[in-house]
Amino acid sequence: MGDYTNVYAGQEAIEVLPWVLARVELLPADSVAHAKGPVLRAFLKPNEECGPRLVHAVPSGFITGTFMELDLFDDAELAQFCGTWGMIAAPYAGSIARMSARIVDPKTEETLLVKAYDASGAELPSRHRIDCERYGRDVWYAGLNGAPRDAAYGARLGGGNWMEAFNRDTTARGGEVLNAYHFAEGGGDRCALIYADEVRHALAIMRVAVLANGFYERAGGNIVHTFRLAVRHDDINEARCGRRPFEEALSLFMDTDFLHPRKEAYASKGVLDGVRESMMHERFRIIEENTMLFADLCLSSVPEPLVAHGGFRRGGLAKLRMPDVGGNARYGNLLQAMAAQLYAYLNDGNPWVVCEVCGRPFKYEQQLMSPITSETKARKEYQCRHRPTKTAFCSKRHEKEVYGPRNAESRRLMKALAKIRADATEESARNIMG
Ligand SMILES: [Zn+2]
């Protein structure tokens, strides 16, 4: 894979810190003052000791199982996903660290606004006089300025990439304004407001990262074949559930026409193939660059994983360090755990397989369909060294689709056989007695 092939050779699991499991609800745009789109509200769901509930790990196969089932364009599904597995925010400009801090610490918003006012040489006024539009944005820009790695990646990617998706009034930058309003209007409870669009964009680029890399390795590095597998996968899913998961996610970041060539535009099939192939190579290069740097930012989002790793990057970018953001470094986050799982899968040397049911690339069947909330079980998960998979299904759910009915049938047969045997034994016993 061009630049990134051997950066991640020879290492498996990366353990990340547990993350906060918040209660998440979807709020329509018109129910949140000043909102420019639907909003997810994440708020603390305390455990018995009044601390935050934590998720310690995602189960094996999560990024190619449960995560792929999610309809990214259904906001209610996004809220449910985040409430089950962990809240999502942009792994960019410090958004994730601020989100976790807002959920666990009621003083966060005030502290951020004090700092923002302070930077412009002013003092935080009383709540109703806070300039939320200006200082909310300032909080976001301060987060970006405080993250040299993010800026370096932005420079490397140039314009027209996923980073721009977070620099909008309806995503991460606008979310800061919303949280400022929430505080100014009296809300001080432990909660974070995140635009559904921010969550969608972050998960979409992660989805493209998993699918594109999985298909690429499955296709043995042949780019035309990589996209053929992706289109076939979308065709299967469209027939199954009316969605094209790869193309839909990719379309948030680039024009996807190249996946469906309009043949009449070219004089002959030879020209078509040539043009299309070079376009595919170019598109794949862009996808690779964007997804690898995105995954790297996820992996490196505060705090750093517990195990040293080479990262998805190389060269000068590898030397950049995240800045110290102080007290927020206690928790990991779901995107980081997903990036760590992708990293492990790209590393472990086992082959990718394509699911017989959904056409998705996977490495290990997802058996456990819920998050891991025990530290001991998480340790086991991280220490597990996988063998190449023998199954043809990405998850237990898809295995059941094929073998479920057959299993039920064979269970009925076994029962009937057992009864016949029992009856026969009884009869022969009677015969002997008789
Ligand atoms: Zn499947």
Is residue 381 located within the same domain as residue 420?
no
| Whether residue 3 has pLDDT greater than 50 | no
Q: Is the pLDDT of residue 34 over 50?
A: yes
C-alpha dihedral sign at 379, 382, 384, 389: positive
Which of these ranges, 7-16, 55-64, 413-422, has the smallest mean pLDDT? 7-16
Kindly state whether residues 282 and 411 are assigned to the same domain: no
Domain that holds residue 430: 398-434
Q: What is the pLDDT of residue 317?
A: 54
Ligand 1 centroid to residue 200 C-alpha, Å: 22
- Say yes or no: 341 and 372 in one domain: yes
Ligand 1 centroid to residue 240 C-alpha, Å: 11
Q: Tell how far the Cα of 389 is from the centroid of ligand 1, in angstroms.
A: 14
Q: Are 147 and 209 in the same domain?
A: yes
How many domains is the chain partitioned into structurally? 2
State the pLDDT at residue 327. 47
How many whole angstroms from 230 Cα to the centroid of ligand 1? Answer: 14
What is the whole-number distance in angstroms between the Cα of residue 68 and the centre of ligand 1?
9
Question: 85 CA to middle of ligand 1, Å?
Answer: 20
Ligand 1 centroid, distance to 59 Cα (angstroms)? 16
Please give the distance, rounded to the nearest whole angstrom, from the Cα atom of residue 134 to the centre of ligand 1.
Answer: 47
d(CA 234, ligand 1 centre) in Å: 12
> Taking all residues of the chain, what is their mean pLDDT, rounded to a whole number?
86
pLDDT single digits (tens) 189-244: 789 999 999 999 999 999 999 999 999 999 999 999 999 999 999 999 999 999 99
CA of 360 from ligand 1 middle (Å) equals: 6
- Do 345 and 198 share a structural domain? yes
Q: How far apart are CA 238 and CA 234, in angstroms?
A: 6
pLDDT value at 27 more than 90: yes
Mean pLDDT along residues 333-345? 93
289 and 424, same structural domain? Answer: no
Expressed in angstroms and rounded, the spacing between residue 403 Cα and the centre of ligand 1 is 13
Q: Are residues 211 and 296 in the same domain?
A: yes
Q: How far is the CA of 365 from the centre of ligand 1 (A)?
A: 9
Burial code (b: 16+ CB inside 10 Å, e: under 16) for 329-356 equals eebbbbbbbbbbbbbbbbbbeeebbbbe
Q: How much distance in Å is there from the Cα of 77 to the middle of ligand 1?
A: 19
What is the structure's pLDDT at 2?
A: 44
Is the pLDDT confidence value at 6 over 50?
no
Distance 396 CA to ligand 1 centre (A): 9
**How much distance in Å is there from the Cα of 64 to the middle of ligand 1?**
8
Query: Which of the listed ranges 132-146, 151-165, 300-314 does the model predict with the highest average pLDDT?
Result: 132-146
388 alpha carbon – ligand 1 mean position (Å): 17
- Note the pLDDT of residue 12: 65
Find the 378 Cα to ligand 1 centroid distance in Å: 24
Are 281 and 429 in the same domain? no
pLDDT of residue 266: 56
Judgement on whether residues 341 and 430 belong to the same structural domain of the protein: no
CA of 50 to the centre of ligand 1 (A): 39
Does this model's pTM top 0.85? My answer is yes
pLDDT surpasses 90 at 323? no
Q: How confident is the model at residue 302 (pLDDT cuts 50, 70, 90)?
A: low
Q: 218 alpha carbon to ligand 1 midpoint, in Å? A: 15
pLDDT band at 419 (very low <50, low <70, confident <90, very high): confident
Residue 297 and residue 198 share a domain: yes
CA of 354 to the centre of ligand 1 (A): 8
At 310 the pLDDT is 66
* Beta-sheet pairing, 39-43 with 353-354: unpaired
Q: How far apart are the CA of 256 and the centre of ligand 1, in A?
A: 24
Residues 285 and 169 in one domain: yes
| Ligand 1 center from residue 69 Cα (angstroms) | 9
Q: What was the pLDDT predicted at 7?
A: 41
| Ligand 1 center to 355 CA (angstroms) | 5
| Residue 395 CA to ligand 1 centre (angstroms) | 6
Asked if the model's pLDDT at residue 421 lies above 60, the reply is: yes
- The yes-or-no verdict on residue 5 having pLDDT over 70 is no
Encode pLDDT of 35-45 as tens digits.
Answer: 999 999 999 98
Average pLDDT over residues 382-393: 86
Q: How far is the CA of 227 from the centre of ligand 1 (A)?
A: 18
Distance (Å) from CA 404 to ligand 1 centroid: 14
Q: Which residue has the higher pLDDT, 59 or 271?
A: 59
Q: Tell me: do 281 and 410 sit in the same domain.
A: no
pLDDT the model gives residue 325: 42
Which residue would you say has higher pLDDT here, 432 or 24? Answer: 24
Give the pLDDT mean for 321-338. 69
| CA–CA gap between residue 358 and residue 56 (Å, rounded) | 28
Give the Å distance between the CA of 392 and the centre of ligand 1. 8
Output the CA 270–ligand 1 centroid distance in Å.
Answer: 35
Q: What is the mean pLDDT of residues 361-365?
A: 96
How far apart are alpha carbons 159 and 165 in whole angstroms?
A: 11
Residue 79 has pLDDT above 70, yes or no: yes
